[in-house]
Amino acid sequence: MSAAKLIQAFSKRTEVPIDIIDDVIPAVRKLGFDGEIYWFYADVDPTVLRGSVVHWSYPTSPGGPEINVAEITVAKALPDDWRRFVACKELIHLLDPVGSQVKSEADFAKLIERLSLPTEMQDFKEDGMKVLTDRIAITQALAVLFPLAARDELYGPFKEGKIPLADVARIVDIPTRYVALAMTEFYPPIYKFLCDF
């Protein structure tokens, strides 16, 4: 399972927006997540937590095989573009290597604490792989929801001033702050790196 393969699966798509239920979830399943996926909107403070994924399992019968479950929670107070973006980011975590997944409440609390730190207080060594994986998943979600082929089609008119950034964000239905990164000249190498990561 690999986020890079998920990004590659959408890389040539020009039809946007990418749909979470009809496009992303089936692609995640195709890449190896064979469990059940439940998705909830919750009354959580989006300034503290925008979304999360909890992994658990249950037996199909006494002593029988386990069914894996991914329970994705997204802050209800977020606008639709943010909800989509957060849901995609959490779906990407279903493809994370086992060592990068948060497995306990203590790990989750540490993750939230480390992610909440201002930039000048972040320490990659102290943060560890789980925090780094979460930060990278943000850019991976951008790459899934705004494929390079779609970005390239919009880049020329955007660069010429024919389409403002806010309109590009509406077309792809993701937050403007992330579309702004995709519409820079240095984004294609970032995208290529994510495809090879």
Q: Which amino acid is at 163?
A: I
Whole-model pTM: value is 0.85
For the stretch 94-126, pLDDT in tens is 997 665 555 556 655 555 555 454 455 555 555
Q: Give me the chain's average pLDDT, please.
A: 87
Whole-angstrom distance, CA of residue 9 vs CA of residue 75: 27
Q: Which two tokens stand for residue 177?
A: 């702050």
pLDDT for 166:
98
For the stretch 7-56, pLDDT in tens is 999 999 999 999 999 999 999 999 999 999 999 999 999 988 899 888 88
pLDDT for 115:
47
Range of the domain at 77: 3-196
Residue partners of 140: CB distance under 8 A and separation at least 6: 3, 6, 7, 89, 92, 194
pLDDT for 103:
58
pLDDT for 128:
53
Number of domains in the chain: 1
Q: Indicate whether 3 pLDDT > 90.
A: yes
For the stretch 127-183, pLDDT in tens is 555 556 667 889 999 999 999 999 999 999 999 999 999 999 999 999 999 999 999
Whole-angstrom distance, CA of residue 74 vs CA of residue 55: 15
